[in-house]
């Protein structure tokens, strides 16, 4: 997947060796935050929520890429969802990255297709068909046509019949975007399933990990994301007297409580600039 993203011109950070809800951050014409799972049903609500938060912070689209559910493989060209997040098979992702957005969404075992409501109505009127006449041709009710012209989806078979009569351009791709939750608009968020523990975003962004466990490994993970997933990085220490890591900015617990996110971002930026000369 990393190779495909690079071939298509994306700038990529690979977190697939880190246990988290993010495997790839890809920056391009449309930025993506990708979580790869063999079985999409293993996606937990907490991890999915953090994936959404990360995508919102990075102004990116969250996507889960998976091969199957517990019951069956995922089909190419079909969009699925888990915890509101778009789920694609590897082949569907390849199609999407090359500009072919999914037009069919599966929900609870049923497949639906969405319409461009204005084009649908214009195409019907151009052919001189009333809602009732079109409904008879398709085999649905007049009320169904009324709903389709107001943005409601149809089953895959019904949508196919309408496209045969009115043209493929009445169909529209599935909307992959998600509305932002209030938490996703905060300047500082804590994470349990990300490649970092804290993320500050105030014009510039800082990813922060706590000083515990394999510190050098955590610093390496922070460093690899610079310029793609975040602008700067730092480690979080309990106090000013805590041991320092050469060349790595430190933020203390006290600073997180007492200082504004803007001030912390500036402190980290200045510290890194001093180190880098």
CATH 3.40.1350 residue ranges of the chain are 2-102
Residues 227-240, mean pLDDT to the nearest whole number: 90
Write down the pLDDT at residue 162: 96
Q: How many CB atoms lie within 10 A of CB 273?
A: 10
pLDDT at residue 212, as a whole number? 72
Buried b / exposed e across 176-195, counting CB within 10 Å, b at 16+? bebeeeeebebbbbebebbb
112-172: CATH topology is 434 Repressor (Amino-terminal Domain) (1.10.260)
Angular region, 128: left φ>0, alpha ψ -120 to 50, beta rest = left
Q: How far apart are CA 203 and CA 191, in angstroms?
A: 20
Residue 237 pLDDT > 90: no
Q: What percent of the chain has pLDDT over 70?
A: 94
Asked if 39 and 69 touch (Cβ cutoff 8 Å), the reply is yes
Q: What is the pLDDT of residues 19-48, one digit of tens each?
A: 999 999 999 988 999 999 999 999 999 999
pLDDT the model gives residue 214: 62
CB 232 within 8 A of CB 203: no
Average pLDDT over residues 123-142: 96
Q: What is the pLDDT of residue 182?
A: 56
Which pLDDT band holds residue 177 (cuts at 50, 70, 90)?
A: confident
CATH number of the domain located at residue range(s) 2-102 in this protein:
3.40.1350
**Residues 233-260, mean pLDDT to the nearest whole number:** 84
Question: Looking at the chain, which residues constitute the CATH 1.10.260.40 domain(s)?
Answer: 112-172
pTM for the full model? 0.90
Residue 181's pLDDT is: 65
Structure confidence at residue 128 (pLDDT): 96
pLDDT tens column, 188-207: 899 999 999 999 999 899 99
Q: Over 70: is that where the pLDDT of 213 sits?
A: no
The radius of gyration of the chain's CA atoms, rounded to the nearest angstrom, is 23
């Amino acid at each position: 997947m990393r190779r495909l993203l690079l071939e298509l011109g994306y700038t990529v950070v690979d977190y697939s060796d880190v246990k988290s809800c993010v495997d790839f951050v890809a920056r391009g014409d449309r930025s993506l935050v990708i979580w790869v799972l063999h079985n999409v049903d293993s996606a937990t609500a907490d991890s999915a929520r953090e994936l959404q938060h990360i995508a919102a912070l990075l102004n990116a689209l969250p996507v889960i890429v998976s091969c199957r559910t517990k019951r069956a493989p995922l089909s190419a060209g079909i969009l699925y969802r888990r915890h509101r997040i778009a789920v694609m098979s590897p082949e569907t992702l390849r199609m999407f990255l090359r500009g072919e957005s999914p037009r069919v969404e599966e929900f609870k075992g049923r497949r639906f297709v969405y319409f461009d409501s204005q084009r649908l109505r214009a195409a019907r009127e151009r052919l001189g068909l009333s809602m009732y006449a079109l409904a008879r041709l398709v085999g649905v009710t007049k009320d169904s046509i009324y709903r389709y012209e107001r943005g409601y989806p149809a089953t895959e078979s019904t949508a196919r019949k309408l496209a045969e009569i009115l043209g493929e351009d009445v169909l529209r791709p599935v909307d992959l975007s998600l509305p932002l939750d209030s938490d996703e608009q905060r300047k500082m968020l804590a994470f349990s399933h990300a490649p970092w523990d804290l993320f500050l975003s105030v014009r510039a962004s800082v990813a922060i990990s706590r000083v515990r466990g394999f510190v050098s490994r955590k610093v390496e993970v922070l460093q690899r994301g610079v310029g793609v997933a975040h602008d700067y990085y730092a480690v979080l220490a309990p106090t000013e007297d805590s041991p320092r890591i050469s060349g790595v900015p430190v933020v203390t617990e006290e600073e997180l409580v007492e200082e504004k996110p803007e001030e912390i971002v500036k402190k980290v930026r200045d510290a890194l600039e001093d180190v880098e000369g």
